[in-house]
Chains A and B, each alone.
Chain A
Amino acid sequence: MSRQLRDMLGDVAGGHQAAFDDAHRGDDTSLYVRAIAPRRRVRRAAPLVTAAAVALILVVGVLGFGPQRSTVEPAHTAPTPSASDEASAPERTTTGQQPLPGQPGWAVDGLVLQPDAVAAAAAASLDGALADSPDCALLDSIGRLENASAEGWVEATHVGAFMEATGATNDVRVAQFDSADSADAYVDLAAATARGCGRDLQATSLDVEVSRVGLTGVPGAALRVIVTDGELAADDGRWMLWLHVDGTDALAVVVEPGATDRAVAIIGDWVREVGA
């Protein structure tokens, strides 16, 4: 029977193999190369980013706890980005040669990227009602740039996260869509999902705000989703998703509750330096 079943399965698989091969005679390897090459570069850089972060922690540790301790000032004060419909992305304040976004030592507002840090699900910090709504639950995966359509297929690369002293993060992912139309469709999906989430939460203490935001001096446009829990204080009750798209390139920043919103600085830095 094993052989008989093997033959049956072979017939099914062979039929689909032949049908697929007939329909795909062209060489579309270049599409794969375009999708894969940037991801391999980011993954190769990841251990270097970790090493740089560890080295920085050691240096800070020595400065902070060594015998010649002096007052340690932060590298520079974190600017609070504007939350208007036209946000202003600060220019890179370059003093000497700074690492490029995604490269080892990339710093935004004085925080160095931690490649292994990841944002938790929104429902983990805010009201559990988020998890009960399918649309709200989907926001987490949109923040990870998942669930793209078959034609606009995309796999996101997790760049890392900027972690505050509280442990809350600005989590960064990037992806490249097959076409600008697919990328725009994904933004539309994100907006529709966020609005659906808002409708599901009408009877709760949670509120959802969805807006399109242009970043001054930065090509492309961003969708911003803010989920606020009225029962929690300020930053602790606010989860944000920034989804920036420029042509086929997408970048998502998830700002966890308790973290300062650094998305505009992150997006501005990335798009100017990497997307250029």
Chain B
Amino acid sequence: MRTWEGVLETLVRERRGALVGYAFLLAGDRATAEDLVHDAIIRTFSRARRLDNVHAAEGYVRRAITTQFLNGRRSRATARAKQHLLVERDAPPADAATGAVDEVTRALGKLSGRQRACVVLRHFEDLSTEETAHRLDISVGSVKRYVHDAMVILRGELADLAPDEPDETVSAPVVAARRRTP
């Protein structure tokens, strides 16, 4: 077995579900999420690059998922309009959304594609603002704006979500007590 095949086997067996979960946060429905993962795995492994560890391969696949999600929104909409001409799905995949999870899923659905991508990369993938900007090939300012706008929407939708925290906390110097004038 070639090296890439071994890595592929491990990735498909152990990490594909997690990748579908990640893709769902971006796409908002299971069918599209599964398509994104399938597409990204084949894209990643089809390139003749050296792939000798699962961790690196998963990183490439996650990047491909994000890129495909952002680039493919229009073409998928067109393709879906033609879906009735193509092979029928046996049944729609069962979405796992129930209760609170359902509420979060609906709230995410109110966000634009870029807002979702920024929120997922910042708050789920734990990337910094700079890393998120680099990953999405947009400016740091744009990331901050997308995240800010997204948080306004999410707070409106999710009553339990606590108020915003500052991105950065700066310690204010203690000023010596001033003498009061009588």
Residues of chain A touching chain B, judged by Cβ–Cβ distance below 8 Å, are 1-2, 4-6, 8-21, 23-24, 27-29, 32-33, 35-36, 39-40, 43-44, 134, 138, 141, 146-153, 155, 157, 181-182, 185-186, 188-189, 192-193
Is B135 interfacial (CB-CB < 8 Å)?
Answer: no
Residues in B neighbouring A36, C-beta threshold 8 A: 4, 8, 42, 45-46
Is A27 in contact with B13, judged by CB distance below 8 angstroms? yes
B106-144: contact bitstring with A at CB < 8 Å (1 yes, 0 no)?
A: 001000000000011001101000000000000000000
5 A-B contact pairs sorted by A residue (CB < 8 Å): A5-B119, A23-B94, A32-B8, A32-B42, A147-B75
Please give the distance in Å from B109's CB to the nearest CB on chain A: 11
Is A24 in contact with B154, judged by CB distance below 8 angstroms? no
**Which interface residue of A13, A17, A18 has the most chain B CB atoms within 10 A?**
A13
Alpha-carbon separation in the docked complex, A246 to B15 (Å)? 34
Please give the distance in Å from A155's CB to the nearest CB on chain B: 5
Closest to B19 in A: A17
Is A13 in contact with B39, judged by CB distance below 8 angstroms? no
Please give the distance in Å from A133's CB to the nearest CB on chain B: 12
Alpha-carbon separation in the docked complex, A23 to B108 (Å)? 24
Closest to B14 in A: A21
Is B25 in contact with A13, judged by CB distance below 8 angstroms? yes
- Residue from the list B8, B13, B124 in contact with A9, Cβ < 8 A: B124
Question: Beyond A23-B93, A43-B48, A141-B75, is A150–B35 a contact (Cβ under 8 Å)?
Answer: yes
Is A17 in contact with B89, judged by CB distance below 8 angstroms? no
Is A11 in contact with B100, judged by CB distance below 8 angstroms? yes
Residues in A neighbouring B53, C-beta threshold 8 A: none
Residues in B neighbouring A18, C-beta threshold 8 A: 17, 96
Residues in A neighbouring B9, C-beta threshold 8 A: 27, 29
Is B43 interfacial (CB-CB < 8 Å)?
Answer: yes
Is B86 in contact with A13, judged by CB distance below 8 angstroms? no
Label chain A's interface by main secondary structure: helix
Is B46 in contact with A13, judged by CB distance below 8 angstroms? no
Please give the distance in Å from B65's CB to the nearest CB on chain A: 12
B9-42: contact bitstring with A at CB < 8 Å (1 yes, 0 no)?
A: 1001100111011101100001101110011011
Alpha-carbon separation in the docked complex, A186 to B86 (Å)? 7
Residues in A neighbouring B164, C-beta threshold 8 A: 1
Residues of chain B touching chain A, judged by Cβ–Cβ distance below 8 Å, are 4-5, 8-9, 12-13, 16-18, 20-22, 24-25, 30-31, 33-35, 38-39, 41-43, 45-48, 75, 78-79, 81-83, 85-87, 89, 93-98, 100-101, 104-105, 108, 119-120, 123-124, 126, 154, 158, 160-165
Q: Which 8 A-B pairs have the closest CB atoms?
A: A13-B21, A149-B86, A15-B96, A17-B21, A39-B46, A21-B17, A17-B17, A19-B96
Residues in B neighbouring A192, C-beta threshold 8 A: 85
Is B25 in contact with A12, judged by CB distance below 8 angstroms? yes
Residues in A neighbouring B5, C-beta threshold 8 A: 29, 33
Question: Beyond A16-B24, A16-B96, A17-B20, is A9–B45 a contact (Cβ under 8 Å)?
Answer: no
Alpha-carbon separation in the docked complex, A134 to B42 (Å)? 28
- Residue from the list B17, B39, B94, B163 in contact with A153, Cβ < 8 A: B39
Is B75 in contact with A29, judged by CB distance below 8 angstroms? no
Is A32 in contact with B120, judged by CB distance below 8 angstroms? no
Residues in B neighbouring A29, C-beta threshold 8 A: 5, 8-9, 12-13
**Which interface residue of A6, A17, A151, A157 has the most chain B CB atoms within 10 A?**
A17
Alpha-carbon separation in the docked complex, A240 to B123 (Å)? 48
Question: Beyond A24-B17, A39-B46, A147-B82, is A9–B12 a contact (Cβ under 8 Å)?
Answer: no
Is B83 in contact with A149, judged by CB distance below 8 angstroms? yes
Residues in A neighbouring B35, C-beta threshold 8 A: 150, 153
Residues in A neighbouring B78, C-beta threshold 8 A: 134, 138, 141, 147
Alpha-carbon separation in the docked complex, A3 to B84 (Å)? 42
Is A189 in contact with B85, judged by CB distance below 8 angstroms? yes
Alpha-carbon separation in the docked complex, A185 to B86 (Å)? 6
Please give the distance in Å from A230's CB to the nearest CB on chain B: 28
**Which interface residue of B82, B105, B165 has the most chain A CB atoms within 10 A?**
B82
Residues in B neighbouring A16, C-beta threshold 8 A: 17, 20-21, 24, 30, 33, 95-96
